[in-house]
Amino acid sequence: MTITEKIIAAHCERDSVRPGEIVQAKVDIALANDITAPLAIEAFSSLGAGEVFDRNKVVLVMDHFTPAKDIKSAQQCKFCRDFARKHGIVNFFDVGEVGIEHVLLPEKGIVLPGDIVIGADSHTCTYGALGAFSTGVGSTDLAAVMATGEIWLRVPETIKFIYKGKLRKWVSGKDLILFTIGRIGVDGATYKAMEFTGEVIAGLPMSGRFTMCNMAIEAGGKNGIVEPDDITEEYVKERAKREYSVYHSDDDAEYSDVMEFDVSDLEPQVAFPSLPSNSRPVSEAGDVPIDQVVIGSCTNGSLDDLRVAAAVLSRKKKAKYVRLIVIPGTQEIYRKAMSEGLFEQMIDAGAVISPPTCGPCLGGHMGILAEGERAVATTNRNFVGRMGHLESEVYLAGPAVAAASAVAGRIASPEEI
């Protein structure tokens, strides 16, 4: 079996499962946020469920519109807050201790290798970087999970992606996944597990692995996953507060497809509007003037990402009339970035530092685009109207290209500046 199949089988208390089977699996973590949780809570109540299945395993994170941007978002958060208080939800995160959910949960050791994590958010697939099976569902499905602690699944087929070679300077996990989605399309892995492996992945830090698994959904994937190794163990051992299981794919595991890429010559990538698959090397971007740069999100809000951006911005100034918004993924990342002097470099360059929030990624707040404006963002989606006006445009890139573009006032490679 593949690692994905082994995790699912273990949570069904079965020796094996095969792609296409419908199974009922036990869930380790059930997750929702301030947008999706209210719908799940309403559905939970309509089921007549008295209590959540486990107050330690239901996680609520107020990250999309917090601090509340308006009355409606304040009501959403209050609704969640009241539910958390009523049910004694242990892992409830609000203003002051909140972080972007998919950065926060691994940092807190809430998600661990071998887990099944079900979240009412499509980027729940992020946790596959730890060797967990994690996927997004609708709020009503999550309500049933909150009540029963179980989920029905169709066991996905797996595509194996093997990355060979050695990455060039400034090339990161974001570039690998944009390149991959560009090759297979936004539906190239529909309802399939995307298993990332090879010598390049073995040398990739956890931050890059989180980024790749985070965007598996942008290729239609059911989940993204990386087999745990020493890098995973180093990350997890300081954070884990409970036992966990490590799984690996068998040598004779069956895959629906195996794709190999030599990425030694890969350049930093940019995904042009309005699909993540519309990616191309930054050298082929042409002259695209921009109005805003966003560095952050659940995709690229790690300390590593901020370090890269600060290195590019050091002793430079952003272009006039370009807004540079930096959003650390969690309070802990905020603290470390501040203590390392990264914020000083960024502020000297003309950036504004936001508290942790999903904010502009979904067109929520902290950086909405006006008609005709263009943004380079380290976020995960560039659909029409994703960050604001329907006539605005979003270009996806890693933190190095985003920072360089802020300085140049147009899409630019860090090599240029």
The CA distance from 78 to 282, in Å, is: 44
Beta pairing partners, 388? 369
User: Class of the 270-416 domain?
Assistant: alpha beta
CA 85 to chain centre: 28
Task: Read off φ and ψ for residue 7, nearest 5 degrees.
Answer: -65, -45
Mean pLDDT of 205-221: 98
Helix (H, G, I), strand (E, B) or coil at 297: helix
Q: Is-above-0.85 flag for pTM? A: yes
- Per-residue pLDDT averaged across 38-50, rounded? 95
Strand, helix or coil for residue 92:
strand
Using a pLDDT cut of 70, give the percent of the chain over it. Answer: 100
Q: Show me where the domains of the chain are located.
A: 3-260, 270-416
Residue 216, pLDDT score: 98
Average pLDDT of the segment spanning 282-298:
98
pLDDT, position 66: 82
> What are the phi and psi torsion angles at 267 (to 5°)?
-90, 165
- Determine the pLDDT at residue 128: 98
β-strand 91-93 against 116-119: which pairing, if any? unpaired
Mean pLDDT estimate for the chain: 97
- Separation of alpha carbons 221 and 223, rounded Å: 5
Q: What are phi and psi of 33, to 5 degrees?
A: -125, -175
Nearest Cα to 365, choosing from 45, 15, 66, 146? 66
Read off the pLDDT of each residue in 266-272 and give the average, rounded to a whole number: 98
Q: How far is CA 265 from the centre of its chain?
A: 26
Stretch 304-312: mean pLDDT: 98
Listing DSSP states for 350-383 in one string gives T-EEPPS--GGGGT-SSSPBPTT-EEEESSS---
pLDDT (0 to 100) of residue 205? 98
Query: Residue 315: what are its φ and ψ, rounded to 5°?
Result: 60, 30
Q: What average pLDDT does this structure show over 190-206?
A: 98
pLDDT at 86 over 90: yes
Question: Distance between CA 387 and CA 397 in Å, rounded?
Answer: 15
Each residue of 146-177: pLDDT tens digit? 999 999 999 999 999 999 999 999 999 999 99
CA distance linking residue 272 with residue 280, whole number of Å: 8
Q: What CATH number does domain 3-260 carry, 3.30.499.10, 3.10.450.50, 3.40.50.300, 3.40.30.10?
A: 3.30.499.10
Task: List the one residue out of 123, 150, 415 whose CA is nearest residue 282.
Answer: 415
Segment holding 71, helix H or strand E: helix 71-87
